[in-house]
Amino acid sequence: MAHDERRLQVLRAIVQDYVSTNDPVGSKALAARHDLGVSSATIRNDMAVLEEEGYITQPHTSAGRVPTDKGYRFFVDKLSQVKPLSIAERRAIERFLDGALDLDDVLGRTVRLLAQLTRNVAVIQYPTLARSAVRHLEVVQLAGNRLLVVLITDTGRVEQRSVEVPPVTDVPPGTDPVADLRALLNSAFVGAKLVEASVTAVELLETAPPHLRGLVAAVSATLVETLVEPGEDRLLVGGTANLTRGGALDFPGSLRPLLEALEEQVVVLRLMGEVAPSHVLVSIGEENEHEGLTGASLVSVGYGSVGGTGDLALGGLGIVGPTRMDYAGNMAAVRAVARYVGQLLAES
Amino acid sequence: MAHDERRLQVLRAIVQDYVSTNDPVGSKALAARHDLGVSSATIRNDMAVLEEEGYITQPHTSAGRVPTDKGYRFFVDKLSQVKPLSIAERRAIERFLDGALDLDDVLGRTVRLLAQLTRNVAVIQYPTLARSAVRHLEVVQLAGNRLLVVLITDTGRVEQRSVEVPPVTDVPPGTDPVADLRALLNSAFVGAKLVEASVTAVELLETAPPHLRGLVAAVSATLVETLVEPGEDRLLVGGTANLTRGGALDFPGSLRPLLEALEEQVVVLRLMGEVAPSHVLVSIGEENEHEGLTGASLVSVGYGSVGGTGDLALGGLGIVGPTRMDYAGNMAAVRAVARYVGQLLAES
DNA sequence: GCTGGCACTCGCACGTCGTGAGTGCCAACA
DNA sequence: TGTTGGCACTCACGACGTGCGAGTGCCAGC
């Protein structure tokens, strides 16, 4: 029907106008700013229907209309057109990210870049341990019966854990248990995916020389814990200052809960969940379960790719902002940055 | 003079009342809440003098008085009495920090603890590299001619750097340059303070076998850069949600500049500068040079101690909050936490 | 099914005004 | 000389009233 078609255009126009002006948009203004070919009266009728269907709402009688979460959702799914990045933006991405050396550096630059590009809070997850492989393991003796185990993954991530180990007995003369342990661990784990580590650990324990078994058991246990627990994934957050853009308008319930949610990284990590590099995930307002985020939207996507299918990501990155955001632009920015980061990491 | 004495008590009372109520305090309320033994009229006279001297000011005619930065400064220097922590607070510190294993864990817990205890933003600096000694160096071959160098310090801090190295020529048969490099670096650097590293590096370069000199030079250069540059010090920030406590009252110019300053860690790091474990440093409002912090105060102190004199700290920790804060309480909390963290780190 | 017209609603900005906390000054007192 | 009660004055703030105007819903006509 021609009706439906136009109604959707009205919805699109409302979203666009509201996002750019931050004022509830009325039928008259809409007719003036977009040539929809109909009068404001007709638009009013359409708006009434849209409101009845729950896509828009009015803050108070005789104010303009504002999109609801459902309205944004529809806009994102059906109405928004891919918005190619400007050349300046593409350039900014390259200029910003080229020259990064370490993983830390790459992620740090990325988060700043995304925050600047989208003028929102940017988040990036460290490459998830579960999908990484072991490049090297280092064991250093600490005071007492504690060992420091340093894990270096093929993505360049470095994690350390302090491990309490049982005392070693029956050491064959002329050998160094720590050095032996190091050699043993490396020969067993290097090159293995971390998901397989628990299996490897069991095998290793059986074949290890008796006097090292205590050490191997303790260290393996820590390694396995470290990666089974998804809470161990780390998140980098940047651009929180952007939350204050637009005064207190954007986040009515004050931004305290939002800041809390961002500090409790788990919340955001769970939301980003299983993002794939191929598909930008948008989570709008009330769709977010955590209460601190119910007034915000998250746009995220996976970066890097693991395995042949390319549908597993090394980690996720994205932005957090008011529901009233430029979804099309932000989706494009997030996707472009993720792609570039993926390339960068693949090179090293 | 008895005069002066009483005037100072008036100033103290004003600071205390204002901090707890967040309302400009008038002569009458002051006379009612504190028994200063004089009437409100007399207090008015004292207030006039205090205002003339710049310790207090009135937001507008016929409102109460509010302390100026100078007033807070005087209060902190001369008037505040040490406020011992409650038993509950001491307990909280122990409960919160005991059971931490890694350095990361200790610092993470500390920052959360401080934020919770003082209800402000907490910051903690990683143990500064310059004052740490090398416990171990690890070298891992990356793709191409890149090496990953991992530095483990005696404070448990782990830092990695990716180093571009020149191709190695004239490798004697049967030797592994990377393994040789690792052995060489460890025998030279382990146990050495990082401040002396540049000297050590020069010596090492002279004695190294010719075919390894390129590698040694590149890696040493990176190591030296890493620690000479104080900007490499890292900062952990927590409790930013506390900035929103008290609505927009506390930070009139909105908290955007403050959030920016906190993200630009350098700013805070420079402010904490050379904190000693023995002395709590308070930096109030306009005393802070960085413009984002001119509406805030920083209370910081060093933790851990290096060398016999005990006046060099491993790093600093502290809190950032509105100038209108409970200085006495916060100074006590910061000092107590720092002392405890110092103990924790000394044990390991 | 679209349009212009019209009556109606109601949040917001603005001006007025009373209130009260707080001040400065002064004369009297110790 | 320092303290006190008294008094006139100031002025931010909140309550109240009001006009404006954007926006709406509805209806008759095309």
pLDDT in tens, A107-121: 999 999 999 999 999
Alpha carbons within 13 angstroms on the beta-carbon side of residue A21 total 17
Chain A contact for B82 (CB, 8 A cutoff): no
| pLDDT on residue A60 | 86
pTM for the structure as a whole: 0.90
Which chain B residue shows the shortest CA-CA distance from A238?
B263
- Rounded-to-integer distance, Cα B316 and Cα B268, Å: 10
Q: A299: helix, coil or strand?
A: strand
Q: What is the dihedral of CA B14, B16, B17, B20, to 10 degrees?
A: 150
Q: Which residue is nearest to nucleotide D3 (CA to C1')?
A: B42
| pLDDT on residue A311 | 76
The answer to whether A183 touches A204, Cβ cutoff 8 Å, is no
User: Which residue in B65, B49, B69, B51 sits closest to B1, CA to CA?
Assistant: B49
Q: How far is the CA of B62 from the C1' of C19 (A)?
A: 14
The answer to whether B329 touches B114, Cβ cutoff 8 Å, is no
Check pLDDT > 90 for residue A348.
Answer: no
Q: Where do runs of H (alpha helix) occur along A87-134?
A: 87-97, 103-118
Question: Which residues in chain A have Cβ-Cβ distances shorter than 8 Å to B146?
Answer: 348
- Closest nt by CA–C1' to A26: D23
| pLDDT on residue A229 | 66
User: Which residue in A193, A191, A223, A229 sits closest to A205, CA to CA?
Assistant: A223
How confident is the model over B76-95, as pLDDT tens digits? 998 888 889 999 999 999 99
Footprint of strand C on the protein (CB under 7 A): A 2-3, 6, 37-39, 41-42, 45, 60-63; B 23-29, 40-41, 44, 47-48, 51, 58, 61-65
Q: Is B226 exposed, middle or buried (0-12, 13-18, 19+ CB in 10 A)?
A: middle
Closest chain A C-alpha to B206 CA, distance in angstroms = 28
Give the CA distances from residue A302 to residues A237, A282, A312, A316, in Å, rounded to whole numbers and listed in that order.
16, 12, 8, 4
Residue A194, both tokens: 């971390």
| pLDDT on residue B228 | 64
Answer left, alpha or beta for residue B99, where phi above 0 means left and psi between -120 and 50 means alpha. Answer: left
Footprint of strand D on the protein (CB under 7 A): A 23-29, 40-41, 44, 47-48, 51, 58, 61-65; B 2-3, 6, 37-39, 41-42, 45, 60-63
Beta-carbon contacts of B52 under 8 Å, excluding residues fewer than 6 positions away, are none
Contact A138 B136 (CB under 8 A): yes
- Rounded-to-integer distance, Cα A226 and Cα A223, Å: 5
| pLDDT on residue A307 | 65
A116-125, A210-219, A309-318, B117-126: least confident range: A309-318
Q: How far is the CA of A252 from the C1' of D16 (A)?
A: 28
- In chain B, which residues have pLDDT < 50? 1
Q: How far is the CA of A37 from the C1' of C7 (A)?
A: 26
CB-nearest partner of B241 from A142, A239, A260: A260
What is the pLDDT confidence band of residue A318, given thresholds at 50, 70 and 90? very high
* Higher per-residue pLDDT: A108 or A305: A108
- Rounded-to-integer distance, Cα A74 and Cα B67, Å: 53
Check pLDDT > 50 for residue A1.
Answer: no
Closest chain B C-alpha to A248 CA, distance in angstroms = 9
User: Which residue in A120, A266, A122, A131 sits closest to A195, CA to CA?
Assistant: A131
CB-nearest partner of A102 from B161, B243, B245: B161
The answer to whether A71 touches A32, Cβ cutoff 8 Å, is no
Chain A contact for B152 (CB, 8 A cutoff): yes
Q: A266: helix, coil or strand?
A: helix
Q: Is A326 exposed, middle or buried (0-12, 13-18, 19+ CB in 10 A)?
A: buried
B112, B121, B136, B258, best to mutate vs chain A, most A CBs in 10 Å: B136
Q: B85: helix, coil or strand?
A: coil
Q: What is the dihedral of CA A317, A322, A323, A327, to 10 degrees?
A: -50
